Amino acid sequence: MAARAIIGGGSIGGLFAAAALRRAGWEVDVFERASAELSGRGAGIVTHPALVEALESVGAGTHDLGVAVEERVAFDRQGGRVRAMEFPQIVTSWDRVHRLLRPLVPEGRYHLGRVIAGYEETGGSVIVRFEDGSREEADLVVGADGFRSAVRGQFQPAVAPTYAGYVVWRALAAEAELSEEVRASVFPAFGFFAPAGTQIIGYPIAGPENDLRPGNRRYNFVWYSPADAGKLDAMLTDATGHRHRVTIPPPLIRNEVLAQMREEAEAWLPLPFVEILEVSERPFFTPIYDHCVEVMGAGRVALAGDAACVARPHMGMGVTKAACDALALARHLGDGGDVAAGLAGYSAERVPASRLAHERARELGSYIFGSPRETNPDGRANPRLEEIMRTTAVAI
C-alpha cells in the first residue's frame, strides 16, 4: 500500500509538492482553505531555468508558458530611458502556472474549504486535525500553506513573519488600454524606476486565458512603497474598523487607502507608470515580511515554499523556490520508506538554499531605502542601478 501524504495548501507550492510526491509513488491529498477553486490571480511570475525544469519534471509541460522579453530598461521621473541592457527572459503569470499544475492532482484528491488546525505525531503516522473537527491520518504532512502557515505555527512556533517596513502594490493593466506611446516605450521591456525610497518594476504578461497575442496581453505593475507601522495599521483596517492581522483581502482595501496611494503615485512616479496605474484593474497591496526557519523537516512533518521561508519578491524566487522544495522533498522521501531520515536530508539540503535566497532578497530590498531621497530623486543617480537591473528576479 502506498504511503500517504497530506498537503496543507492548494496554491502553486502545494500543487508542486503533490505532483512531485505522486510521481514518486505517494498517495497524496491536498487540503485548501479557500472554499472555491483558486483562480483569477493574474499577478506576474518571472521564470528561471529551475522553474521550467521543475514544471517539465512533474509532467506539467511548459507550452506557451509566457511572454518573452528581450531587454531591461530603467526610466527616470520624466519617463526617459536611463539605462538599457539585453536580458532575455520569459515572464508568466500565477494563472498560467496554476493551470499547468492543477490537473496533476486528480478530482477527489483536492479538497476545498478544509483548514488545518494542527497535527499529532503518533510514531507510525501523523494525525491532522481540521477546524471543522474532522481528522485524517497519513504518513506525512507537508505545510505548503503560505507565510501564515498553521503547520509552521506548530512545528516552529518561535518563527513568525516580521514586517520589513514597506509594502508592494500590484496592479494589472490591459495592453489595449494603454496609450500608443506607453505601449511603444514601456510595455515591451522589463522596466525599472529606482529613485531613493521607492521602486517600480513592471513587465508584460499574457492576457486572460493565457492570451499571448499582441494587443491582448497585460502589464504587470509592481511598486514597492514605504509604510511605517502607523500607516500600515490604517492600510490593514477595513471599512468596518476591523484591523486585519497580517494582510488584508484585496476587496476589503478601503477606497481612502487607494486614493492616498494614487496621490502618492502622481507625486512620485513617472507619467507612463501613473497612466498604467490609472487604467489598471483595482490595485491591491501586500506588506513585505521576513521569516526563515532553521529546520524544514523532522519526524513526519515538512515545510515547503513560503511556509518555510519567504524571500522578498525582489528575487522573483517564490514559485521557483517552492518548486525546488517539492522536487527535493520527493527525491529524499522516495516511495515512503524511512520518512524521518528522508526529511532530515531534505531539510539539510533546502534550508541553506532557502536562506541564501532570503538574505539576497533582503539585500535587494535594502537598496531601495539605503540613501536620502535628495541624492536620487528622479531615478537617474542610483549608484546601484546596474546591479539592481542585473540581479532583480534572477536566480542565485
Please say if the pLDDT value at position 40 is more than 80: no
Please say if the pLDDT value at position 159 is more than 80: yes
* Domain-located, residue 50: no
Kindly indicate the confidence band of residue 39, based on its pLDDT and cuts at 50, 70 and 90. Answer: low
- pLDDT per residue over 177-205, tens digit each? 999 999 999 999 999 999 999 999 999 99
C-alpha cell at 99: 493551470
Please say if the pLDDT value at position 371 is more than 90: no
Domain count, the chain: 2
* Domain-located, residue 54: no
Tell me the mean pLDDT in the region 330-356.
Answer: 96
Say what the pLDDT of residue 335 is.
84
Same-domain check for residues 28 and 143: yes
Same-domain check for residues 134 and 237: no
Which residues face 111 on adjacent strands? 31
The values of phi and psi at residue 130, to 5°, are -115, 160
In percent, the amount of the chain with pLDDT more than 90 equals 90
* Domain-located, residue 351: yes
Say what the pLDDT of residue 42 is.
54
* Domain-located, residue 46: no
Please say if the pLDDT value at position 41 is more than 80: no
* Domain-located, residue 25: yes
Same-domain check for residues 226 and 188: yes
CATH number at residue 322: 3.50.50.60
* Domain-located, residue 283: yes
Same-domain check for residues 119 and 76: no
If we measure between CA atoms, which residue out of 53, 154, 145, 143 comes closest to residue 343? 143
Distance CA 285, CA 150 (A): 23
Please say if the pLDDT value at position 336 is more than 90: no
Same-domain check for residues 136 and 254: no
Same-domain check for residues 122 and 265: no
- pLDDT per residue over 278-332, tens digit each? 999 999 999 999 999 999 999 999 999 999 999 999 999 999 999 999 999 999 9
Same-domain check for residues 337 and 385: no
In contact, 375 and 385? CB cutoff 8 Å: no
Same-domain check for residues 339 and 378: no
Same-domain check for residues 86 and 118: no
CA dihedral for 149, 307, 5, 119, sign (positive or negative): negative
Say what the pLDDT of residue 252 is.
97
CATH number at residue 277: 3.30.9.60
Kindly indicate the confidence band of residue 158, based on its pLDDT and cuts at 50, 70 and 90. Answer: very high
CA distances from 92 to 19, 158, 204 (A): 20, 35, 8
Mean pLDDT over each residue of the chain, to the nearest integer: 95
Give the E-state strand segments of the chain in sequence order.
Answer: 4-8, 27-32, 44-46, 67-75, 81-93, 110-112, 116-121, 126-130, 135-138, 140-143, 162-174, 190-193, 199-205, 218-226, 284-292, 297-298, 301-303, 309-310
Please say if the pLDDT value at position 76 is more than 90: yes
Q: Are strands 44-46 and 67-75 parallel, antiparallel or unpaired?
A: unpaired
Ranges of H-type helices in 308-338: 318-333
- pLDDT per residue over 86-144, tens digit each? 999 999 999 999 999 999 999 999 999 999 999 999 989 999 999 999 999 999 999 99
Domain that holds residue 153: 4-38+103-161+290-362
Q: pTM for the full model?
A: 0.95
Say what the pLDDT of residue 123 is.
80
Same-domain check for residues 283 and 294: no
Same-domain check for residues 149 and 120: yes
Same-domain check for residues 202 and 272: yes
In contact, 101 and 213? CB cutoff 8 Å: no
* Domain-located, residue 238: yes
- pLDDT per residue over 219-247, tens digit each? 999 999 999 999 999 999 999 999 999 99
Say what the pLDDT of residue 166 is.
98
* Domain-located, residue 225: yes
